[in-house]
């Protein structure tokens, strides 16, 4: 009897926090459907979503945020996995170098923004170096790398933060697999590269994909970097959502929530994809057996 | 020959990454002392300690923010490690209906950005009287950092298993003592990772702190953003350096405490080998 109760006792604080989280999520979703009794809005409607998706400025924000999130997370994942692979194959997965490489994980995004401004702005080190090398004659000739409409500065900041995160997320597992199963394959005559490609990488796939999804969703919904490094137009989704949220006219709030709803929808679709892929990989294994 | 080329390739890759990580840190230090640095010179023309004196004059305010930042993040880190251990054990070591659902909901905050959650929960927090208060900020941060802790500690718990603990139980130890003397010391490295990760998640949080803290609860990020927006780089760089230094110091303390615990606290019999 005591043992039956035990898991629930252990889970109690987790469940409380999860409930709170769900209240936040559900409130957001109901408000996006235009139900805010306190403001006299009572009937659920899809109007706000329709309007958000048909307004060109808002649609541009959606695409802008999606592009930044996709670019930064794909590049960070590829870069991080590449680096893990190089280190694992060279059996250099520990030591001072690895500790330094994981340093960006502890640097807040706000500070990363400062780094990017110091280096990539038109007043930054790169622009000065370009002048010194005679590549540009005037400050204005240096390409707009931050506050630009393509979000290059934001993507760069995310890469600086997220490549080490992927390394941190993946390297222990990868070193472990490459050391045990990879060793076995090498003993059977496979080449280092083949082992990595055919044994280690497939076995790390789920971890890599979940790392990718975490940084993708983070980049999609993060506020600081687009605020500090982004262009005035288009604005990133969370920045625009917050702007609508604090709008003096409280009836604008459903727009904010609809924008958030779009973020939630994209995140949920990507997590669903993840679960489907996991199921498929399990199926493959059982069929082969 | 081939091996040598490979090791050169590895060294180059590591070097590039190291440079990309460390060069920005150098610019941070450079800007602390930069008084004037006009285009297009490669090095600043005039150095001074003006910015440092300016900040030293605001010592009281700064110390207060430093204190509240560290307090919030440390409480969040410790709580999320404790709750993480509890959740991980419940999910991995017990049978109960709805386990998959519980696991799904624990990981869900990974998939919903903090901004979305913050705007949704604000009304509830206001109603509960948690808004504009440190307690509220801690709870909100905890929700965001918990998935990291649970994930890490679940991996650790799965690797450590429960055999030694059962052994201790058979030999007559109480459940808590069995856990404290066997599993906990072995889990310590993972717990340390979970504590550090949660600390960072909390420490870096801007939007959530802004919404729930409502400007009343001041942390490092809240302090920094206005300086970045107004382009006051000297001050921003000093604050960044200061807070990064403090973070490293706090991590050093965490590591020291974990090492001490592993040596003197729990099962010295298992760590000595």
pLDDT of residue B149: 95
Cα dihedral across residues A64, A116, A169, B142: positive or negative? negative
Per-residue confidence at A278, pLDDT binned at 50, 70, 90?
Answer: low
Looking from the CA of B240 toward its CB, the CA atoms found within 13 Å total 30
Neighbours of B174 (CB within 10 A): 10
Given a contact cutoff of 8 angstroms between Cβ atoms, the answer to whether A105 and A165 are in contact is yes
The residues with which B47 forms a beta bridge, in sequence order, are B34
Please name the residues in contact with B270: beta carbons below 8 A apart, sequence gap of 6 or more: B164, B182, B185, B186
Contact A260 B24 (CB under 8 A): no
User: Taking 90 as the threshold, does the pLDDT of residue A65 lie above it?
Assistant: yes
pLDDT of residue B273: 34
Structure tokens at A149: 């409409």
Q: What is the pLDDT of residues A199-226, one digit of tens each?
A: 888 888 888 988 898 899 999 999 999 9
Contact B14 A87 (CB under 8 A): yes
User: Taking 50 as the threshold, does the pLDDT of residue B270 lie above it?
Assistant: no
> Nearest CB to B142: which of A17, A83, A218?
A17
H-state helical runs in chain B: 2-33, 50-56, 59-93, 99-111, 114-127, 134-160, 163-170, 175-178, 184-204, 207-213, 220-230, 233-260, 268-271
Window 154-193 of B, Cβ < 8 Å to A: none
Cα B51 from Cα B35, distance rounded (Å): 8
The fold of A56-109+146-288 is: MetI-like fold (1.10.3720)
CA nearest to A261 within chain B: B116
Neighbours of A99 (CB within 10 A): 9
Neighbours of A207 (CB within 10 A): 17
pLDDT of residue A288: 41
Query: Rounded to 5 degrees, what are φ and ψ at B16?
Result: -60, -45
Q: What whole-number percentage of chain B has pLDDT above 70?
A: 96
Residue ranges per structural domain of chain A = 56-109+146-288
> Nearest CB to B111: which of A38, A217, A242?
A217
Looking from the CA of B26 toward its CB, the CA atoms found within 13 Å total 9
Rg (CA), chain A: 23
| Helix axis angle, A253-288 to A56-89, nearest 10° | 40
Best of A10, A26, A84, A214 to substitute, by most chain B Cβ atoms within 10 angstroms, is A10
Q: What whole-number percentage of chain A has pLDDT above 70?
A: 94
Q: What is the pLDDT of residues B33-84, one digit of tens each?
A: 888 887 777 888 888 888 788 888 888 888 999 999 999 999 999 999 999 9
ipTM of the complex: 0.88
Structure tokens at B200: 């960072």
Contact B42 A87 (CB under 8 A): no
Q: Give this prediction's pTM.
A: 0.89
Residue ranges per structural domain of chain B = 1-48, 58-271
Residue A164 with chain B: CB contacts under 8 Å? 21
The fold of B58-271 is: MetI-like fold (1.10.3720)
Contact B90 A10 (CB under 8 A): yes
Q: What is the pLDDT of residues A8-34, one digit of tens each?
A: 899 999 999 999 999 999 998 888 888
Cα A66 from Cα A74, distance rounded (Å): 12
User: Taking 50 as the threshold, does the pLDDT of residue A74 lie above it?
Assistant: yes
């Amino acid at each position: 009897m005591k043992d039956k109760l035990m898991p629930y006792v252990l889970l109690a604080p987790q469940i409380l926090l999860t409930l709170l989280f769900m209240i936040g999520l559900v409130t957001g979703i109901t408000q996006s459907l235009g139900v805010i009794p306190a403001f006299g809005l009572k009937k659920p409607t899809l109007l706000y979503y329709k309007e958000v998706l048909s307004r060109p400025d808002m649609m541009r924000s959606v695409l802008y945020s999606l592009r930044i999130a996709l670019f930064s997370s794909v590049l960070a994942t590829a870069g991080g996995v590449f680096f893990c692979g190089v280190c694992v194959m060279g059996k250099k997965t520990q030591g001072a170098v690895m500790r330094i490489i994981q340093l960006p994980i502890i640097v807040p995004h706000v500070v990363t923004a400062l780094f990017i401004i110091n280096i990539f702005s038109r007043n930054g080190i790169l622009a000065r170096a370009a002048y010194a090398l005679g590549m540009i004659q005037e400050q204005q000739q240096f390409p707009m790398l931050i506050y630009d409409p393509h979000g290059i500065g934001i993507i760069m900041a995310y890469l600086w933060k997220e490549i080490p995160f992927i390394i941190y997320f993946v390297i222990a597992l990868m070193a472990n697999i490459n050391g045990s199963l990879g060793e076995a394959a090498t003993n059977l005559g496979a080449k280092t590269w083949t082992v990595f490609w055919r044994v280690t990488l497939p076995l790390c796939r789920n971890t890599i994909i979940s790392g990718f999804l975490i940084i993708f969703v983070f980049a999609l919904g993060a506020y600081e970097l687009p605020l500090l490094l982004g262009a005035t137009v288009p604005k990133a989704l969370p920045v625009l959502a917050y702007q609508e949220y604090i709008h003096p006219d409280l009836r604008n709030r459903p727009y904010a929530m609809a924008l958030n709803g779009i973020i939630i929808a994209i995140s949920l679709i990507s997590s669903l994809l993840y679960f489907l892929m996991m199921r498929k990989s399990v199926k493959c294994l059982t069929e082969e057996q | 020959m081939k091996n040598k080329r490979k090791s050169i390739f590895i060294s180059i890759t590591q070097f590039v990454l190291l440079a990309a990580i460390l060069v920005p840190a150098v610019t941070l230090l450079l800007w602390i002392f930069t008084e004037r640095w006009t285009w297009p010179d490669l090095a600043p023309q005039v150095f001074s300690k003006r910015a440092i004196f300016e900040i030293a004059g605001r010592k009281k305010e700064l110390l207060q923010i430093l204190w509240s930042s560290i307090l919030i993040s440390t409480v969040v880190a410790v709580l999320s490690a404790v709750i993480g251990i509890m959740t991980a054990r419940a999910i991995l070591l017990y049978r109960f209906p709805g386990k998959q659902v519980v696991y799904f909901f624990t990981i869900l905050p990974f998939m919903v950005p903090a901004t979305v959650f913050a705007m949704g929960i604000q009304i509830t927090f206001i109603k509960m009287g948690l808004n504009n208060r440190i307690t509220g900020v801690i709870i909100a941060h905890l929700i965001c950092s918990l998935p990291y802790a649970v994930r890490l500690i679940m991996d650790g718990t799965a690797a450590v298993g429960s055999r030694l603990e059962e052994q201790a139980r058979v030999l007559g130890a109480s459940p808590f003592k069995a856990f404290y003397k066997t599993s906990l010391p072995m889990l310590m490295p993972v717990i340390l990772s979970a504590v550090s990760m949660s600390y960072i998640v909390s420490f870096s949080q801007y939007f959530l702190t802004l919404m729930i803290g409502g400007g009343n609860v001041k942390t490092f990020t809240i302090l920094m953003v206005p300086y970045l927006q107004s382009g006051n780089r000297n001050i921003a760089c000093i604050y960044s350096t200061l807070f990064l230094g403090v973070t490293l110091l706090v991590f050093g303390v965490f590591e020291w405490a974990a090492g001490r615990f592993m040596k003197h606290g729990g099962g010295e019999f298992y760590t000595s080998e």
